[in-house]
Amino acid sequence: VLTQSPATLSLSPGEGASLSCRASQRVSRYLAWYQQKPGQAPRLLIFDSSKRATGIPARFSGSGSGTDFTLTISSLEPEDFAIYYCQQRSNWPPEYSFGQGTKLEIK
């Protein structure tokens, strides 16, 4: 089980954001982060805990290992206000799961 916190984060453009994803059991490095905007499909941001996907700005970074992972946005742009999900895969059976999401809203 992946637990994300906070459920909602209210910040202003230009501020930094830190989103948490905690696993109930130690997970492999295969943790990913996705961004979803209203009416759109999720978009991959970070994979393998800390690697940025193609085309993702450098202000997005991922860190963590074991059971605690963090998505950091260094300086929020207006287009960053969205919902963010973490995702992992269990070793066996190979089942995938998502956190419940963190909504990043404009303050």
Partner 1 sequence: QVQLVESGGGAVQAGRSLRLSCAASGFSFSSSDMHWVRQPPGKGLEWVAVISFDGSNKYYADSVKGRFTSFRDNSENTLHLQMDSLRTDDTGVYYCAKESGSHFLDYWGRGTLVTVSS
Give the DSSP letter string of the chain.
-EEEE-SEEEE-TTS-EEEEEEESS---S-EEEEEE-TTS--EEEEETTTEEPTT--TTEEEEEETTEEEEEESS--GGG-SEEEEEEE-SSS--EEE---EEEEE-
Q: Decide if residue 20 touches partner 1 (CB under 8 A).
A: no
Give the binding range for partner 1 (CB under 8 A) out of 16-24, 55-63, 64-72, 81-89. Answer: 81-89
Q: Which of 100, 105, 106, 107 binds partner 1 (CB under 8 A)?
A: 100
Q: Decide if residue 96 touches partner 1 (CB under 8 A).
A: yes
Interface contacts to partner 1, rule CB under 8 A: 30, 32, 34, 36, 40-44, 47-48, 53, 83, 85, 87-89, 93-101
